[in-house]
Amino acid sequence: MAKKPLTINDIAAQASVSNATVSRYLNGHYEKMSAATRARIQQVIDMTGFHLNRQAQSLKRRSSHLIGMVVADVENLFSSLLFKGTDQILAAAGYQIVLMNADNDLKVERQQLQRLLELQVDGIILQPVSATAANYAFLKQTQPVVDIVDRQLRGTNWPQVTTDNYRYSAQLTKTVARRGYNQLVVVTPPLGDNTARDDRYRAVTDLCEEKKFSRPLQTLTIQPDTTNAKLYQQLIAILKKRTGHTALYVLQGHLLLQVMTVLAENQIKIPEQIGLVAYDDWSLSQLMQPGITTIQQQPRAMGQRVATNVLRQLAGQSVEPLTMVESALHERDSLGTFAKK
Amino acid sequence: MAKKPLTINDIAAQASVSNATVSRYLNGHYEKMSAATRARIQQVIDMTGFHLNRQAQSLKRRSSHLIGMVVADVENLFSSLLFKGTDQILAAAGYQIVLMNADNDLKVERQQLQRLLELQVDGIILQPVSATAANYAFLKQTQPVVDIVDRQLRGTNWPQVTTDNYRYSAQLTKTVARRGYNQLVVVTPPLGDNTARDDRYRAVTDLCEEKKFSRPLQTLTIQPDTTNAKLYQQLIAILKKRTGHTALYVLQGHLLLQVMTVLAENQIKIPEQIGLVAYDDWSLSQLMQPGITTIQQQPRAMGQRVATNVLRQLAGQSVEPLTMVESALHERDSLGTFAKK
């Protein structure tokens, strides 16, 4: 397997030109070169299957042309779209992405960031598992450009690209209230160290304090390993006690799919028996029956934006400390309309 | 940004030990080292934020510890799960993945493979856009281990990890026939250079030749940019002409979501008005209402298997030329049951 790789010397010898000429050719400096010389060098390269060792090159230049990207959970379609947008911009500029999956685990994430430092990546794009900047202090003394995407880090100078979760969550909550619902039930993964989710929830509690709903807010916290049967028990316990019109607000895309499955399995009809809205990380809710009223994010646009920032920083230019990418409210068929009681 | 990186010499000087001692420490050879020396070196490393330059290291060893992975379409959830399985195995063995998205474009894929060669990756995992080995001949003269996953390449010696698309597609088709349907309509992206899809289709045509259905097979080929409105026109044209019980068989996961959306938008009820089965790349159909009878693949297991093969090859061991990962038929509620006419 490990045959000795060809060097520039080998190519130069076979093409009967100097090493310097081959080097100029490989770097695209054709000025002092005849067409015949170019053709001869290319022919030797084609015949031998020679590849420039860019890793050795980058070592000389102190640039790896690698960008590390650590996503919180690669199974979330949001991550795929984030990667796609980032890759579109970076690949066009000659950078490759080393992708890592933190699997929502701060320890795993830390190991991965350490590995990226060892790899001497030029930049790191991080969708952080934690919202606490102190957890990332070890990155501060290091060389690469660091950019934060999607979830915010509190108390950091690294540029951040995110969306205004508070504003859009408030917009969605007001939509439910306007339709005449008396009670809102928030269904959410555990809150605490995820700014995106916390901001969404804070918008709801602020509006409930303003008495947007006649009945008090209920919150159903769902652990990641909750089975459909368990989720149904928890849902039904809340729904049995409801009076008037109740709507569920699911704070996260993956949980939305689970909630819809449980409602379907138990023949609970949307919107006839229960209203449903959601914050859609997955961009899939428009494909579900019935269409769900959601806030839809633009992960691909976020990826493009953070990649553009990284390239600017690598070129020594300044970037905005905080960039807000727009999301959008999509009203579909998962809410009824009632007279206020 | 580019402050001069610390070297082993710097650490040795500050810890008052020899370069060789620092080097032994970094490589985990603690045999000839006192606990005090170890503690002193670690303290200097902690204080200075020193990181071993693994890229420079790997250059000496002729191993980058990078594995390139080129997926056909990163927006397909299948790819995310494939990545996740691969990453679980490789990361545990100290390898990082440079992920690339070919976006179903052979030219883009070729450029990406060239870049991976330039990066001197130790191995390449390829979900090929094309089924024709000649399109990948340029990889043959090169150093890295190459492994094919999901879609097969015809006429290659590279190890392949896939699933038996023909067998499972036949199983699904027979299930439809057993339920008493008279006619099958295959809905598929363009066929031709994707072995997974071609094998699925071939199973259907073989069974239709055996007269499993009383009415002839219809095939609806859907271009990637087809709008929902256009898809509806094409579907309705076929459905208007149907006699007896007709079932749709969607050959690919993303298209399944589009077909379900179109049926829902136009109040065409499953299974009352039309039967529906699918080959599910997306692992999402169990979350849709109604549940769709599908063949479900195991992309994560495929990723784990191909990663295990790569590691074995890098260790000089032999691997199976063709590994078939199991899929499974999931019967749900998208087919009726009729007496054969």
Cβ <8 Å between B58 and A58 = no
Chain A residues within an 8 Å CB radius of B54? 118-120
Q: Is B118 on the interface with A (CB under 8 A)?
A: yes
Find residues 254-273 of chain B whose CB sits inside 8 Å of chain A.
257-258, 260-261, 264
Cβ <8 Å between A81 and B75 = yes
* Residue at B334 is within a domain: no
Cα–Cα distances (Å) from B15 to A51, B9, B44, B50, B166, in that order, read 41, 10, 6, 13, 64
Q: Is the dihedral of CA A327, A82, A111, B56 positive or negative?
A: negative
As a whole number, mean pLDDT of residues A136-155 equals 87
Other CB atoms within 10 A of residue A34 CB: 9
Helix (H, G, I), strand (E, B) or coil at A56: helix
The pLDDT score that the predictor gives to residue B319 is 94
Chain A residues within an 8 Å CB radius of B261? 286-287
Question: What angle, rounded to 10 degrees, do the helices at B19-26 and B8-15 form?
Answer: 110
* Residue at A14 is within a domain: yes
* Residue at A94 is within a domain: yes
- Gap between the Cα atoms of B249 and B227, Å rounded: 19
Taking only the tens place, the pLDDT of each residue in B277-332 is 999 766 666 566 567 899 999 999 999 999 999 999 999 999 999 999 999 999 98
Cα distance from A25 to chain B (closest Cα, Å)?
16
Nearest to A55 among B49, B59, B141 (CB): B59
What is the DSSP track for A227-293? -HHHHHHHHHHHHHT--S-EEEEE-SHHHHHHHHHHHHHTT--TTTT-EEEEEESSS-GGGSSSPPE
pLDDT averaged over every residue in chain A = 86
The pLDDT score that the predictor gives to residue B329 is 93
Higher pLDDT, B172 or B240: B172
Helix (H, G, I), strand (E, B) or coil at B280: strand
Are both A18 and A110 inside the same structural domain?
no
- Structure confidence at residue B144 as a pLDDT band (50, 70, 90): confident
Cα–Cα distances (Å) from B204 to B190, B207, B213, B334, in that order, read 16, 5, 11, 19
CATH number at residue B25: 1.10.260.40
Cβ <8 Å between A74 and B53 = no
Are both B112 and B156 inside the same structural domain?
yes
**B185 phi, psi to nearest 5 deg:** -115, 115
The pLDDT score that the predictor gives to residue B249 is 97
As a whole number, mean pLDDT of residues A44-68 equals 67
pLDDT at A27 over 80: no
Chain A residues within an 8 Å CB radius of B114? 51
Minimal-distance CA residue of chain A relative to B228: A287
Are both A243 and A129 inside the same structural domain?
no
Chain B residues within an 8 Å CB radius of A112? 91
Q: What angle do CA B333, B339, B340 make, to 5 degrees?
A: 110
pLDDT at A139 over 90: no
Best A58, A82, A83, A265 member to test B by mutation, with max B CBs in 10 Å, is A83
Are both B172 and B284 inside the same structural domain?
yes
- Structure confidence at residue A49 as a pLDDT band (50, 70, 90): low
Q: Are B337 and B175 in contact (CB under 8 A)?
A: no
Are both B210 and B149 inside the same structural domain?
no
- Go through chain A and tell me how many residues it has: 341
Chain B residues within an 8 Å CB radius of A142? 49, 51
Q: Which residue type sits at A241?
A: K
Are both B196 and B234 inside the same structural domain?
yes
As a whole number, mean pLDDT of residues A105-110 equals 93
The pLDDT score that the predictor gives to residue B239 is 84
Element (H, E) at B101: strand B96-101
Cα–Cα distances (Å) from B256 to A81, A249, A299, B134, B240, in that order, read 19, 27, 23, 32, 20
- Structure confidence at residue B2 as a pLDDT band (50, 70, 90): very low
- Structure confidence at residue B256 as a pLDDT band (50, 70, 90): confident
CATH number at residue A189: 3.40.50.2300
Residue A5, by phi and psi: left (phi above 0), alpha (psi -120 to 50) or beta? beta
* Residue at A334 is within a domain: no
As a whole number, mean pLDDT of residues A218-229 equals 90
Find residues 216-235 of chain B whose CB sits inside 8 Å of chain A.
none
pLDDT at B219 over 60: yes
Nearest to B119 among A54, A291, A316 (CB): A54
Are both B108 and B88 inside the same structural domain?
yes
Taking only the tens place, the pLDDT of each residue in A182-192 is 999 999 999 87
* Residue at B340 is within a domain: no
Alpha carbon dihedral B121, B92, B70, A151, in 10-degree steps, equals -120
Cβ <8 Å between A49 and B100 = no
As a whole number, mean pLDDT of residues B193-203 equals 90
As a whole number, mean pLDDT of residues A54-83 equals 78
Q: Which residue type sits at A213?
A: F
List, in sequence order, every residue forming a beta bridge with A322; answer none if it has no partner. A160
* Residue at B333 is within a domain: no
The pLDDT score that the predictor gives to residue A62 is 61
- Structure confidence at residue A1 as a pLDDT band (50, 70, 90): very low
Residue with tokens 């087919």: B335
The pLDDT score that the predictor gives to residue B238 is 86
Taking only the tens place, the pLDDT of each residue in B169-181 is 999 999 999 999 9
Are both A35 and A109 inside the same structural domain?
no
Are both B14 and B124 inside the same structural domain?
no
- Structure confidence at residue B115 as a pLDDT band (50, 70, 90): confident
The pLDDT score that the predictor gives to residue B221 is 94
DSSP label at residue B281:
S
ipTM: 0.74
Q: Which residue type sits at B246?
A: T
* Residue at B220 is within a domain: yes
The pLDDT score that the predictor gives to residue A8 is 79
Instruction: Write out the two tokens for B199.
Output: 């094998």
Are both A108 and A182 inside the same structural domain?
no
Q: Is B7 on the interface with A (CB under 8 A)?
A: no
Are both A71 and A29 inside the same structural domain?
no
pLDDT at A300 over 90: yes
Chain A residues within an 8 Å CB radius of B264? 289-291
* Residue at B243 is within a domain: yes
Are both A230 and A118 inside the same structural domain?
no
Nearest to A118 among B52, B75, B142 (CB): B52
pLDDT at A56 over 70: no
DSSP label at residue B156:
-
Element (H, E) at A98: strand A96-101
Find residues 56-115 of chain A whose CB sits inside 8 Å of chain B.
56, 58-59, 62, 64, 66, 74-75, 77, 79-81, 83-84, 87, 91, 96-101, 112, 114-115
Taking only the tens place, the pLDDT of each residue in B21-65 is 887 777 666 667 888 888 888 788 777 766 665 555 544 446 788
**How many structural domains compose chain B?**
3
The pLDDT score that the predictor gives to residue A207 is 96
pLDDT at A51 over 80: no
Q: Residue B334, Cα to own-chain centre: how many angstroms?
A: 27
As a whole number, mean pLDDT of residues B252-278 equals 86
**Residue A204 belongs to what domain range?**
165-296
